[in-house]
Amino acid sequence: MQPQRRNRGLEYGVILLIMELFNVGVTNIPPVTLLSILGQLALYAGFVNVPWDKWDVCLNARDIIKGKEYRRLFLSAVEHGDDMHLYYNMLSFLIKGRSLERRMGSKNFFLTLAVLTVLTSCYYVGMGWALTHFTNDPYYMKVCAVGFSGVIFALKVLTSEHQEAGMKYAVWSELILIYLLVPGSSFMGHLAGILAGLTFVKTRIGKFLKKVIEGVTGDGFNANNYYQQANQGAAAGQGGFFNNNFGGFGNFGFRRQQPTYGFRPYANQRQPYGWNVN
67 within 8 A of 144, measured Cβ to Cβ: no
Residue 126 Rama label (left phi>0; alpha psi -120 to 50; beta): alpha
Type and span of the H or E element at 82 = none
Helix axes 106-135, 31-45, angle to 10 degrees: 50
Q: What is the largest CA-CA distance in the chain?
A: 64
Q: Exactly one of 85, 92, 160, 190 is catalytic; which is it?
A: 190
Q: Exactly one of 149, 160, 185, 186 is catalytic; which is it?
A: 149
DSSP classification of residue 276: T
Kindly list the distances between the CA atom of residue 90 and the CA atoms of 15, 70, 87, 94, in Å, as whole numbers in the listed order: 12, 24, 5, 6
Give the dihedral of Cα atoms 30, 34, 37, 43; nearest 10 deg: -140
CA distance 5 to 51: 8
162 is an active site residue: no
106 is an active site residue: no
Long-range contacts at 12-16 (CB < 8 A, ≥ 24 apart) = 12/83, 12/84, 13/82, 13/83, 13/84, 13/85, 13/86, 13/87, 14/41, 14/44, 14/45, 14/83, 14/86, 14/87, 16/87, 16/262
Q: Which residues are catalytic?
A: 149, 190
